[in-house]
Structure 1
Amino acid sequence: MIRAGLLSLALLAAAPATAQDPGADARAASDRLNRAAALMEAADGAANRVKALTEVVGAYEDGLEAMREGLRRAAIQEEALSRRLQSREDEIASLLGVLQSMAQSEGPVLLLHPSGPIGTARSGMIISDVTPALETRAAALRAELEEVTVLRTLQESALDTLREGLKGAQDARTALSQAIADRTDLPRRFNEDPVKTALLVASTETLEGFASGLSQIAVDEVPGSLPGIDARKGSLRLPVEGRILRRAGEADAAGIVRPGIVMATRPRALVTTPAPATLRYRGELLDYGNVVILEPQAGLLMVFAGLDVVYGDIGEVLPGGSPIGLMGAPEGADGRDTNALLIENGKDAGASRSQTLYIEVREDNEPVDPETWFETNEG
């Protein structure tokens, strides 16, 4: 029995142990959040405060994304190690028992065998062969137990860093909103006629009809157009970080087919202009929620729908990468969205992308596949 137990434990010793640094991702994410905090301090004296704060919000979003992913991986790894150790409780107990009995047995007794000198010699050979394997296995188990401890400690400390990062991100968003409200230096293509805008919204039944009537709300529009962006077709950055949830022409759960794409984004994600553009409209429209319509060049409209907060004044010319709004937050989240977003260190990374942005592109008021204009990196 002892011989069989020793041999089985020796075979277990051959199982490889993973050698990883579970804190590397968390440290890198923490560095990103520290960089965001430093950018926030520098933004106070920046000449272009909106641009500086836009970079701050982006830096916080990158750092928080990395921190959540690090926490997610740590949680998965810690659970896998715990399950593996739990499933081997009997084996571990046997290993500890054998090692303990070997350590406590006196030399002469350990060498005796009922079958005589030959049995004693054979037992000694078995013990000599198996002992290094047992010690290796014991060391591997100690390493796994230590890794579980490290991962749990890491998650506890990283949650505090995540809370601080979430607060910093919300402070940056608040400062950005104020900076946009205070901004007065943007050029204007036209002034908005609010009465005509209200009438157009009230009488509109389709996005196509609304887009065709946008010129009616413009007063004293400057002739001409912004420089064309045809050369950048297919390479424009998407207006928000996320993944494509539904492509152009694909039906949603209700069977509705739209010519645009739907992107899944994180709560409070910042939405920016893909290129310099005139802000043709912002506000609620039909069943699209809050909508922003940009005109990068004559005859080209980009529609972004589903935002929670929208920025800018109709008629302004916005630089490329300029903030135009924020996505919403999960229902029930507080103003700083801390509690809701702390949940995102769970195992399902996709579950945290709870918001959706609809993107439609229209050329001469005809919808085209947005993926012909944007670089999506998705096949």
Structure 2
Amino acid sequence: MMLRAALLSVVLTGSAMAQGAGETAQRAATLLTEAAQQLDRAEGARDRVVALTAVVRAYEEGLAALRQGLRQVTIQERALSADLDAREAEIARLLGVLSTMERAPTPLLLLHPSGALGTARSSMMLSEVAPALQAEADALRGDLTALEDLRLLEEAAVRSLQEGVEGIQRARVALSTAISDRTPLPARLAEDTAQIAALLGRVDTLEAFAQGLGQLPEVPGQAILDRPLPLPVTGRVLRGFRQPDAAGVSRPGLVVATAAGALVTAPTSGTVRYAGPLLDYGNVIIQEPKPGVMFVLAGLSETYTHVGQVVVAGAPLGLMGGTQPSGQDFSRDAAAGGGTSRTETLYVEVREGGSPVNPSEWFAEE
């Protein structure tokens, strides 16, 4: 895969970018290779869903690494260009002085107003100019070569980003198709849909709905959960637990900024208690990993699961909305260091015994 080759090139060019980008690229390249092998080995529809889920997540991590690497390369390229521009002007002034001296008659160059001593000193100074100028020229030549290498790397990263964006879009389509073709998994619990429908009719907030849902019969689940769990989507935490937004509104959960069309996966095994639209929150998924604990994920555009389904850790739950950028737009934004790569937000809330708790106690925010 071209993206995998590009990721490996990011790793090998560690001097051109931050160490963190190289490490992320190495991990993403490994994930992409393993996902491709898993896809080749997939036999049934369920295996294909698992494999395609791994492919999409590897693509997401790989694009993030390439984006970070391209930004680092662009910053270095601009800094080196500015330095060369400054030094080029300095060397140009020096060459102008030497050129003026060369046009002067030779006898005048050998004479100095202060006499023989001044003439000797000026000759010594002139003899030192040429080696210094040669050293400046050599340094300039080396920096120009480095600049050319950086620009070639930048062009390769842009092409790889464009290929990667196209690849992840194809992988998402394939995943959606595989899920729609998959034989539905047997539900471990038949939810009382009448109860849920009645609950939806009398709640006006996500908190009230989650609290009411917690009063329904509990679902048997695993007793112990390893922590910290991974975030259900690739992104960064925009606002923490009860941290107010610009309007002063605080919520008992995390707001995670993520890319358009990002894949949302189950952070751990559990039973889906609700999946579908809710008020103005978009699509909401409520997962119960064990009795008395619920994960509320709000803001999805598309869901892959249904009420009563038992999902395993890493299973695809749905996709975020938003307009996915083209490869050209993605690479241009990455080079410019813009912030339009994470245009969507997923709200993550954890409730224990019916009350919200700080999700940071459950999830690794990095």
More divergent stretch after superposition (168-177 vs 29-38): 29-38
Q: Of the candidates 214, 218, 227, which is equivalent to residue 222 of structure 2?
A: 227
Q: In structure 1, what is the equivalent of residue 341 of structure 2?
A: 352
- Structure 2: distance between partners of 1:119 and 1:338: 66
Q: TM-score, normalised by structure 1?
A: 0.79
Classify the secondary structure of the residue corresponding to 1:313. Answer: coil
The reply on whether 1:321 has 2:314 as its aligned counterpart is yes
Q: In structure 2, what is the equivalent of residue 127 of structure 1?
A: 126
For the Cα contact (< 8 Å) 2:284–2:298, is it kept in 1? yes
Classify the secondary structure of the residue corresponding to 1:352. Answer: coil
Q: Of the candidates 356, 365, 368, which is equivalent to residue 354 of structure 2?
A: 365
Q: In structure 2, what is the equivalent of residue 55 of structure 1?
A: 54
- Structure 2: distance between partners of 1:125 and 1:214: 90
For the Cα contact (< 8 Å) 1:196–1:216, is it kept in 2? no
Classify the secondary structure of the residue corresponding to 1:253. Answer: coil
The reply on whether 1:248 has 2:247 as its aligned counterpart is no
How many Å apart are 1:276 and its aligned residue? 0.3
**One-letter code aligned to 2:342:** R
**One-letter code aligned to 2:89:** D
**One-letter code aligned to 1:365:** G
**One-letter code aligned to 1:209:** A
The reply on whether 1:36 has 2:36 as its aligned counterpart is no
1:353–1:100 Cα change, 3 Å: farther
Unpaired runs of at least 5, structure 1? 1-18
Q: In structure 1, what is the equivalent of residue 169 of structure 2?
A: 170
- Structure 2: distance between partners of 1:349 and 1:36: 26
For the Cα contact (< 8 Å) 1:189–1:315, is it kept in 2? yes
Matches within 5 A, 1:275-314: 275-314=268-307
Q: Identity percentage over the alignment?
A: 46
- Structure 2: distance between partners of 1:128 and 1:27: 50
Matches within 5 A, 1:67-82: 67-82=66-81
The reply on whether 1:272 has 2:265 as its aligned counterpart is yes
- Structure 2: distance between partners of 1:195 and 1:313: 15
For the Cα contact (< 8 Å) 2:266–2:317, is it kept in 1? yes
**One-letter code aligned to 1:275:** T
- Structure 2: distance between partners of 1:228 and 1:109: 98
For the Cα contact (< 8 Å) 1:40–1:172, is it kept in 2? no
Q: Of the candidates 346, 366, 375, which is equivalent to residue 364 of structure 2?
A: 375
For the Cα contact (< 8 Å) 1:246–1:262, is it kept in 2? yes
For the Cα contact (< 8 Å) 1:308–1:325, is it kept in 2? yes
For the Cα contact (< 8 Å) 2:71–2:336, is it kept in 1? yes
- Structure 2: distance between partners of 1:31 and 1:376: 18
How many Å apart are 1:169 and its aligned residue? 0.9
For the Cα contact (< 8 Å) 2:282–2:299, is it kept in 1? yes
How many Å apart are 1:240 and its aligned residue? 1.7
Classify the secondary structure of the residue corresponding to 1:138. Answer: helix
Matches within 5 A, 1:97-246: 97=96, 112-115=110-113, 117-184=116-183, 186-192=185-191, 196-214=195-213, 225-230=220-225, 232-233=226-227, 235-246=228-239
Matches within 5 A, 1:254-265: 254-265=247-258
1:26–1:143 Cα change, 3 Å: farther
Classify the secondary structure of the residue corresponding to 2:230. Answer: coil
**One-letter code aligned to 2:346:** L
Post-superposition Cα deviations, 1:274-297, rounded to whole Å, max 9, x if no partner, equal 110101111111222111110000
1:45–1:217 Cα change, 3 Å: farther
- Structure 1: distance between partners of 2:33 and 2:260: 20
The count of corresponding residues between Structure 1 and Structure 2 is: 347
Q: In structure 2, what is the equivalent of residue 16 of structure 1?
A: none
Unpaired runs of at least 5, structure 2? 1-12
**One-letter code aligned to 2:150:** L
1:324–1:20 Cα change, 3 Å: closer
Q: TM-score, normalised by structure 2?
A: 0.81
How many Å apart are 1:207 and its aligned residue? 2.5
- Structure 2: distance between partners of 1:193 and 1:27: 48
1:81–1:356 Cα change, 3 Å: same
Q: In structure 2, what is the equivalent of residue 46 of structure 1?
A: 42
1:42–1:366 Cα change, 3 Å: closer
1:79–1:190 Cα change, 3 Å: same
How many Å apart are 1:152 and its aligned residue? 2.7
- Structure 2: distance between partners of 1:99 and 1:60: 57
**One-letter code aligned to 2:91:** I
1:339–1:309 Cα change, 3 Å: farther
1:299–1:164 Cα change, 3 Å: same
Q: In structure 2, what is the equivalent of residue 22 of structure 1?
A: 16
How many Å apart are 1:105 and its aligned residue? 9.0
How many Å apart are 1:144 and its aligned residue? 2.5
Post-superposition Cα deviations, 1:111-139, rounded to whole Å, max 9, x if no partner, equal 73345653443233223434333222222
